[in-house]
Amino acid sequence: MRVLVIGSGGREHALALKISKSSLLDMLFIMPGNPGTKQVGENVKINPSHGDKTLQFCKDERIDLIVIGPEQPLVEGLSDYLRNEGFKVFGPSGKAAEIEAHKSFAKRLMKKYNIPTSDFAEFQSDEYDNALSYLKETGYPCVIKADGLAAGKGVLICKNFDQAEKAVKEIFLDKVFGSSGDKIVIEEFMEGEEASIFAITDGTDFICLPSSQDHKRIGNKDTGKNTGGMGAYSPAPVVTNEILSQVENKIIKPTLDGMNKEDCLFTGCLYVGLMITKDGPKVVEYNCRFGDPETQVVLPLLKGDFLKLLYSSAVGELDKNAVHYEDGCAVCVVAASKGYPDSYQKGFEIAGLDSNDKKIIVYHAGTDETDDKIITNGGRVLGVTAVLAENDLRKARNKAYEAINEIHFEGMYFRKDIAVKALNR
Ligand code: GLY
């Protein structure tokens, strides 16, 4: 098979690396990729948002499967465009990607199909006064979310009315999230521990990959601003077999059935962001693609042929036996640029990337190459990941931190408490 992966982050490095191990693979391209993906395939210097150039490339290279990593091209309908031209695509249609593109769509879906989640209300920007009246009556803390895409940053937890009023003002009047904040969703705050589940689906059948837990805040002990994710581990002990079975039966199955009934068949990876509450698992959010950095810890734990799984989803005949999890665990610590998730500088040389340790994978996320040097080129720069054959998160965590301590670039920042929650259970 000739495969094209679209994207350039740590998630796409993880997808490309896993696909590169498939016996079905003839040729792997990554568009546009990064210096990490270049080690496992051929990077293609085309901006995938130029649909016509992407299409021409797929025709010229006789691509058998296109795997779309990020949400933006999915929401913009790249998969529909390529499918209409006869290509096989892993990833949902633009219509089905609404499940991530608009939080209000997802919340209404959950309400209609009795999928466990928090209570909510939604307001347009011209309903400023109504939103404030609602916030005077609601309980605290509450969660205010920009309705549209905001790279994981559009979620504000408000402890009281003053904070909530400030948040609404910032979103509606100051437009801090641009048009993504033309509408807000106000949600009841859920107590519990978060976890992520990836369900690979052809729209009807699905399989769940090993559970994981992300660390969304910039600071240790979950403090400071939200980020795209500062580290992850898999499997997450909070997702017991009993919880997983509830997630499958009460959340994933009704979500896929509901999407079908709404004429939004969902294929690809349904990412379910969960809160494991005392009343069981509830949905925090859906995403229409693999998570980043969760993918970096989940994929190395899979045995079998991952490409076979992706292809089977794309052609609508899911092969539930293509991959399985036996044992093992992984911990990923993200090395970020000083200042992230706000503004940061780029272009610093990265040292210490030459480890030969077979248990360490250094995923490239925001990197670039110049004069044979690897330099920083983003907020989240690397995902330093330890993968063990046995499920010993303490050992994996120690290994990941040993490895990240060998790496250096100016202003490098990382959280010190990745996977601590799992050890404290
Ligand atoms: N790690 C969070 C996300 O991928 O949205």
Delineate the domains of the chain, giving CATH numbers in brackets. Answer: 2-98 (3.40.50.20), 119-188 (3.30.1490.20)
pTM of the model: 0.96
Model pLDDT, residue 170? 94
Residues 396 and 354: their CA atoms lie apart, in Å, by 19
Atom of ligand 1 nearest to the CA of 287: 5
Give the distance, in angstroms, between the CA of residue 118 and the centroid of all CA atoms in the same chain: 21
pLDDT in tens, 10-31: 999 999 999 999 999 999 999 9
Q: Edge to edge, what strands does the sheet with 89-90 contain?
A: 42-43, 27-32, 2-7, 65-68, 89-90
Average pLDDT over residues 303-313: 98
- In sequence order, the 6+-apart residues with CB closer than 8 A to the CB of 45 are 32
Average pLDDT over residues 294-308: 98
Q: Does the pLDDT at position 225 exceed 90?
A: no
Model pLDDT, residue 380? 97
Q: Does the pLDDT at position 156 exceed 80?
A: yes
Average pLDDT over residues 265-280: 98
pLDDT in tens, 356-371: 899 999 999 999 999 8
Ligand 1 pocket: which of 15, 292, 295, 298 to mutate (most atoms within 8 A of CB): 292
Residues 309 and 318: their CA atoms lie apart, in Å, by 7
Report CA(372)–ligand 1 centroid distance (Å). 31
Q: Does the pLDDT at position 337 exceed 90?
A: yes
- Could you tell me if the CB of 294 is within 6 A of ligand 1? yes
> What is the rounded average pLDDT for all residues in the chain?
97
Average pLDDT over residues 322-346: 97
Q: What 3-state class would DSSP assign to 113?
A: coil
Q: What 3-state class would DSSP assign to 417?
A: coil
Average pLDDT over residues 79-98: 98
pLDDT in tens, 107-140: 999 999 999 999 999 999 999 999 999 999 999 9
Least confident of 289-293, 319-323, 351-355: 351-355
> Quick check: 19 and 307 in contact, CB under 8 A?
yes
> Quick check: 142 and 189 in contact, CB under 8 A?
yes
Model pLDDT, residue 226? 87
Report CA(215)–ligand 1 centroid distance (Å). 9
Atom of ligand 1 nearest to the CA of 11: 4
Closest CA to 10 of 424, 352, 395, 381: 381
Q: Does the pLDDT at position 101 exceed 80?
A: yes
Atom of ligand 1 nearest to the CA of 232: 1
Distances (CA, A) of 220 to 117, 123, 191, 196: 27, 33, 19, 20
Model pLDDT, residue 183? 97
Which band of pLDDT confidence, cut at 50, 70 and 90, is reported for residue 152? confident
Model pLDDT, residue 355? 85
Model pLDDT, residue 151? 79
Helices in 151-279 by DSSP H: which ranges?
Answer: 161-168, 241-246, 253-261
Ligand 1 pocket: which of 153, 214, 233, 283 to mutate (most atoms within 8 A of CB): 214
- Could you tell me if the CB of 152 is within 6 A of ligand 1? yes
155 against 271, higher pLDDT: 271
pLDDT in tens, 385-406: 999 999 999 999 999 999 999 9
φ, ψ of residue 292 in degrees (nearest 5): -135, 110
- Could you tell me if the CB of 287 is within 6 A of ligand 1? yes
Residues 384 and 350: their CA atoms lie apart, in Å, by 13
Closest CA to 415 of 233, 149, 155: 233
Closest CA to 14 of 273, 253, 301: 301
